[in-house]
Chain A
Amino acid sequence: MPSAPLIELRNVSKRFGGVRALDDVSLTLDTARIHCLAGENGSGKSTLIKIVSGVYQPDEGEILIDGKPVGKLDPATSIAHGVQVIYQDFSLFPTLSVVENLALNSFLREGRQRIDWRRARKMAREVLARLDVKLDLDATVETLPAAGRQIVAIARAMLADARLIIMDEPTTTLTGREVERLFRIVRDLQDQGIATLFVSHKMREMLEISEHLTVFRNGKKVTEGPIADFDERAITRAMTGRDLHQGKFTAPDTTGKTPRLELRNVSVGDKAQNIDLTLMPGEIVGLSGLIGAGRKAIAQAIFGLRQDMTGEMRLDGQPIAPSSVPEAIAAGLAYVPEDRLSEGLFLTRSIRDNSIVSSLERFAPRLWLNSEKAAAQTRKMFEEMAISAPGIDAPVGTLSGGNAQRVMIGRWLMTHARVLILNGPTVGVDVGSKEQIHGIIQDLTRKNDLAVLMISDDMPELAANCNRVLCMREGRITGELSGATLTEEALDAALSNETQGEPA
C-alpha cells in the first residue's frame, strides 16, 4: 500500500503503578482494513483501545496518524482524526430516540447550540440507508434489542466521519443471525473506506471476519500477520502461551447410578424448548453454543431464577421445582454466574462474608451467627481452594480474577452443593490461574462426587474439562460429543455447521 497507514503505534508502553499494561507495543492499522486484536482479559487490549482513543496517554513511544506524529493524543483529537470506539455497553442514551442518539454527537462536535430536528432526521435516515438497515427513528433506544442498539452505535460512529471504528467485544450480546448482519455491515463499511478494529477473544469471528490479526498477551504483542497464516490452534497458543489441549477429563463409571440431575422435556419461556439433560454424579458436562442459544436460560431456570420453566426436573431421582434461589440452594444446586463482578461477588465485603452468604442457615440456624464456625469453615475452604490473599478478612475486591473465582466456587463448597453450574468459569481469569481453576473443578468433581454443568464459549476449555459436551442451538440441544469424538475441532465444527445452516 503506497499511502501511509491510518494509525501507527511505535514502541508504546503504559504502566499503572507497578503493572505494565502495555509493553513496547507497535501496531499498524491500515485504511479500510478489518483488523482483529485478540487476547485474553488483562492482555492489554482495553489499554490499547484507550490509548488509540486518547483516553490514556502512553508513557513511552509515539503515535502517528496518516504518517504524521500527533504528539499528545486526547479524546477530542482522536475523534477529530476519525477514531470512534464502540464500547460493549454502546454508550447510548436509553431514554432518547434513535434520531437523537445519532444526531447529538454530530451537533455537539459542530459546536451547535440549537437543534435542527429536520436536519437530524435527514442525517439519521441517510446514515441508516448507508448501512442498509431499517429502524424506527422515533423509537427510544431502550426499546431496541441489543443488535439494534449496536447498529445505532455504529451509525453514530459513521456520522462522526469515522475512518476507524473500534468495536470492543461486539458479538457478546448478539445471536448468530445478528452476528452475520454485523459482519455484513463491517464489510460494507470497508467498501466505504472505513477500517474496523475488532477486539475479541472469540476464534470463530476472528477467522471469519478479519483480514489481519494481532495477538496480545500480558501487555505484549506476541504475533501478528494476515489471517490466512493462522488457525485456531495457533491463535490459542499465541493467546495463552501454550497448547491448552492438555489431557482430558474422564468421568467415573456411572452405570447403575441414579442421575444427579435430570431434565425431561424442559422448556424455559421462549429461550429453550424440550430440553433433555442428564448429569451423573462425577460428570462434567459442557454446554456449547452461541450466545442467545438458551444456555443461560436453562442454567437460571435450574437455579430457581426464572418462573417460566415447564417440564420435569429431578435431583437424585426426586422431582424438584425450585421457584427461588434459596430453594435451589437448599436442594443442593449451585450457580456461578458469568458476570462475576455484578452478579457474583460483594467486592467491598470480606472473603468470609462472600463465602458464607449462601450457607448462612448453617452458621446461623436461628439468627445468631456463629462466627467461630463460619471463620473456621471459611478457612478450611480457603486452604482447599488455595486462595492467595492476606486472610479471610481481605475484601474480595482486592483479589485477582482467578482468586475471586475461587471464592465464588468456594461459596458453593460451603453449601454442600451436589450440582454445580458454571457459566464461563474462567472468563476474566489470567492464563496461569485458568488451569489451576480447571484443576480445582476436576478435583472437586471427583472428590465430592459433584455433577458439573459447564457453560463456556472457550472450546479448549470444554474439550479439556468435560467428559461430554452438549451443543445447543436456538433453544434446542442439537448434538452431543463425548469420548474420542470430543475434540476442539469437533466442537468448532459443530458450532460452525450451525452458523452455515442459518440464513445469512
Chain B
Amino acid sequence: MSFLRSSDAIILVILAVAMVLIGLVNPAFWQMSNLFSLLKSNVVIGIMALGVLLVMISGGIDVSFTAFAVAGMYLVVKVMVALDYNGVILPFMSATLIGGLLGLMNAGIIHRFSMIPLIVTLGTASVVRGLVLGLVGTSNVNINKMPTALIEFGKTDLLVLERANGSTYGLTAMVAVYLGLALLLHLVLKHTMIGRSVYAYGADPEAAKRVGFSTGRTMIFVYVTAGALAGFSGLLHSSMIWLANPRDFVGLELDVIAAVVLGGASIFGGRGTVLGTVLGVFILVMIQNSLILMGIDTTWQRVVVGAMLIAAVTVTALRDRRALV
C-alpha cells in the first residue's frame, strides 16, 4: 500500500519510537491517567493546527490564529457574562463566526493585495489583539464568573476510570470533538473540489487559475476555515480551563506551526495531510509534557520545541529538494 511509503508512515514510526523511549526512561508514561491528560492537551493545539495545516497546504503561513482564538474566546465569554447567558451551542457558534469573519479579513487582504501571508497575518494579529485588549478589556474572567454551562461542557468525559485509591480520572469528550473535526477536514480535503483546490493552489497558483479554479474562493475557504477553527478552539480552551484570559496563547503560534511542519506539511504548499498533522501535534505535545517525566527542567521546553521545529524543517527541506530533481 502506498501509505507505507508516505510521510505519514514515517511520522508514525517516529512517534512510536519516541513513545517507547520515553516509556523506557519513565514507565509512568504508560499510565492511563498520563495518556488521558496527554490526549486532553492535544485538543486545542490540534484544532488550531488543522487551520494552520490548511493555510500551509495553500502555500501560506498564518501567525494570526492565536489572536483570533483570543478574540473569539474573550468576546463571547465577556458577552455571556454581561448578558448572564448560559448556554453552549450559541456561544460556540458565535466564537466560530468571529474567527471566520476575522479569517475573511486575512483572505481579503492576502488575495486582494497579493501580499506575503506572513506579513499580513502579523499585521492582523496585532490589530485584533490590540483591539481586544484595548477596547474589550485586559482582566481575566475567572472561574467564579465563567458561565457554568461552558465549564460543565468542558468537564464532559467520554469514559471515567478509577484509580486504586478510589479517585477517578476521565478521558475528556473534547478529544472526540477534535478528532471529529479532523475527520471532517480530512474528508473535505480529500474528497471535495474545494479541498483539492487548496492543494492545487498551493502546488501552483498560476496553474490553478488556468485550469479554472476560482482562486479567490479557495483563499476565502482557507482563511475563513482557519479563522473559524481558531475561534472555536479559543472558546473550547477557556471552557476546558474554566478561565478566559485575553492574554492567552501568546507564543503558541510557533508550537502549532512546529506541529504542522513536524506532521509533514510543506511551507511551499501543495503538501500535507490531516493524519500527519494530528500525529505531529501528538508528538509535539507528548514531548513537551514528557520533559518532566524524563527529569528535564521545564525551562528547556522552548529550546526543545525550537530544536524540533528546526529538525523537522531540515528534513522536509531535504525531502523537497530531492523531489525537485
Contact = CB atoms under 8 A, between A and B. Distances in A.
B323 A143 contact: yes
A112 interface: yes
Contacts of B202: 95
Interface stretch (A86-94, A427-435, A448-456, A473-481): A86-94
A138 B2 contact: yes
A108 B213 contact: yes
Contacts of B194: 113
A93 B200 contact: yes
Interface stretch (B125-133, B204-212, B284-292, B299-307): B204-212
A91 B212 contact: no
A104 B207 CA distance: 12
A100 B196 contact: yes
Which of A95, A112, A117 has the largest count of B CB atoms less than 10 A from its CB? A95
A95 B201 CA distance: 11
Nearest to B5: A138
Contacts of A100: 196
B186 to A, nearest CB: 13
A75 B211 contact: no
A150 to B, nearest CB: 14
A93 B204 contact: yes
Nearest to B266: A95
B323 A91 contact: no
Interface in B189-228: 190-194, 196, 199-200, 202-204, 206-208, 210-213
A109 B269 CA distance: 24
Which of A94, A105, A138 has the largest count of B CB atoms less than 10 A from its CB? A94
Contacts of B191: 114-115, 117
Contacts of A94: 203-204, 270
A79 B211 CA distance: 10
Contacts of B237: none
A76 interface: yes
A389 B123 CA distance: 41
B193 A91 contact: no
Contacts of B206: 91
Interface string A107-135: 11100111101000000000000000000
B324 interface: yes
A386 interface: no
Interface in B173-199: 190-194, 196, 199
Contact of A113 (B2, B192, B210, B266): B192
A105 B211 contact: yes
Interface of A: 75-76, 79, 87, 89, 91-96, 100, 104-105, 107-109, 112-115, 117, 138, 140, 142-143
Closest 9 CB pairs of A and B: A95-B270, A93-B203, A91-B207, A95-B203, A91-B210, A93-B200, A115-B191, A95-B271, A108-B212
Interface of B: 2, 190-194, 196, 199-200, 202-204, 206-208, 210-213, 266, 269-271, 323-324
Given A105-B211, A115-B193, 16 more contacts: A76-B212, A87-B210, A91-B211, A92-B204, A93-B200, A95-B202, A96-B196, A96-B270, A100-B196, A104-B193, A107-B193, A113-B193, A115-B192, A117-B191, A138-B2, A142-B323
